[in-house]
Structure 1
Amino acid sequence: MLDFTDRVAIVTGAARGIGKATALRLAEEGADVVVTDVAAERDDVADAVEERGQSALALEVDVSDEAEVEAAVEETIEEFGRIDALVNNAGIFPTADLAALSAEDWQRVIDVNLTGAFYCTQAVCPTMREQGYGRIVNVSSAAGGRVGWAGNLAHYAASKAGMVGFTRSAAIDLGPDGVTINAVVPGMIDTGAAERVSSDEEIEAAVSAIPVGRQGDPEELANVIAFLASEASSYVTGASLVVDGGITKV
């Protein structure tokens, strides 16, 4: 078991899907959790954290807004006195043919998916460095290196590839201060995202190519995130851990 007793974690984009599963997984292991999202369901997730015996703080945060991020971090410190883990999960998943992709739509995806992770990471750095301890986990995507089941994702793929590069470089900056930063690279996780951008036939074809023969569950990715957010991963930093049922290996 992982032990998050007396640890405090911030999870962005935690109202549903991977973020929700991660928030609940961390709570089950003893963490107090700050649940951030622009969606109102964040309050329900915070209630579920408390049902697991842990303290929760639900905050409406647009991670692309630096001021909102800084305010959330300040409120977390006021409430709990520390920040031990940050999971940069918030992201958007629009589709657009490259020829029709507007500069505004491109920038919005980069702002939320990549710049948001930068804002959040930068905001927690002073506290983690002062503590001499911190765990940061960035949620990337197999789309950042290989898009096997849907096109029209140039902006999304660029943002998720950027997360991996950001992780590698930031690990060098943060390592001497006891702070690790890693990325998880999920493939097809059953969050409903694939159904919004692909036909049933496209999804079936993609799933048939996955060695384990199915989409992953959000809880399966949350298990990996929890490990990287824990003390157990103390000698792992700058890594990108692929969690995709083997699809990128075939």
Structure 2
Amino acid sequence: MSTQRKVAIITGASQGIGAGLVKAFLDRDYRVVANSRSIQPSNNPDVLTVAGDISDRSVAERIVKEAVARFGRVDTLVNNAGIFTAKPFTAFTVEDYAQNLAVNLNGFFHVTQFAIAEMEKQGSGHVVSITTTLAEYAIDGVPSVLASLTKGGLNAATKSLAIEYAKRGIRVNAVAPGVIKTPMHGPETHAALASLHPVGRMGEISDIVGGVLYLESAGFVTGEILHVDGGQIAGH
């Protein structure tokens, strides 16, 4: 099979932002490797699905190995898989802590390590992680310590990796969303969540997809935390 078309790996790809990203990259004529714990096989020859928990290193390794075996290369990795647990700090359980670190940090570490190793071979690549503005701008009434701990770590790692690989043709960026209208937020919560943003609305999946696609095409941008958050980062 020809390896000239670009290949994107997207984690957390079965619904919400991840599913939107899969469609967007296909529309840009990429081949896509889509992962989530429950993802189903695809009939599209340009989509390879790999089911499994991204926090499991063997799953991360399989995603990248199967991408190379099927499509011959890895150009882009979007670290979209993540969880958000909103509880008062003292209410977090040891299990909450372990799960947040496993998905948000371990998952990032494992798959990014394998993907960058492939990108180095071709001298080019792009890693984008979905984080959160809450890591830099906490909001009263939105308890978010584990999100800040883990996604804030991804923001810092993004800058570190961007510098480490800048001269090797690999860019590393992040998109920091506000609250996005996805199935995880019931309609009854939308008005309250909209009020958290200076622009007065929740974000749409298309807003985050647009941010990722901008970074994908912006060859002179690396180490950037792109805030797609309705103005949250500016103040409230």
Same fold (TM over 0.5): yes
Residue 46 of structure 2 is aligned to residue 55 of structure 1: yes
Tell me how many residue pairs correspond in the alignment.
232
Residue 125 of structure 2 is aligned to residue 125 of structure 1: no
Counterpart amino acid of residue 220 in structure 1: D
CA–CA distance in 2 between the matches of 1:172 and 1:195?
Answer: 40
Q: CA deviation at 1:242?
A: 0.2
* Residue of structure 1 in register with 2:97 after alignment: 106
The CA deviation string for residues 220-244 of structure 1, in whole angstroms up to 9 with x for no partner, is: 2101112222xx3111111100001
Contact 1:10/1:87 (8 A) holds in 2: yes
* Residue of structure 1 in register with 2:234 after alignment: 249
Q: CA deviation at 1:219?
A: 1.4
Higher helix share: 1
**Which shows bigger deviation, 165-174 or 146-155?**
146-155
Contact 1:83/1:134 (8 A) holds in 2: yes
How large is the Cα RMSD of the aligned pairs?
1.9
Q: CA deviation at 1:104?
A: 2.6
Matches for 1:1-250 after TM superposition, within 5 Å = 6-40=5-39, 42-43=40-41, 46-47=42-43, 50=44, 55-148=46-139, 150-195=141-186, 200=189, 203-229=190-216, 232-250=217-235
TM-score (norm 1): 0.86
The CA deviation string for residues 113-172 of structure 1, in whole angstroms up to 9 with x for no partner, is: 122111111011121011011011010011212232753321122111111001010111
Contact 1:148/1:206 (8 A) holds in 2: no
Q: CA deviation at 1:93?
A: 1.9
| Identity within the alignment, % | 32
Counterpart amino acid of residue 118 in structure 1: F
TM-score (norm 2): 0.91
Q: CA deviation at 1:209?
A: 4.8
Q: Secondary structure at the match of 1:35?
A: strand
CA–CA distance in 2 between the matches of 1:125 and 1:6?
Answer: 18
Gaps of 5+ in 1: none
Counterpart amino acid of residue 112 in structure 1: V
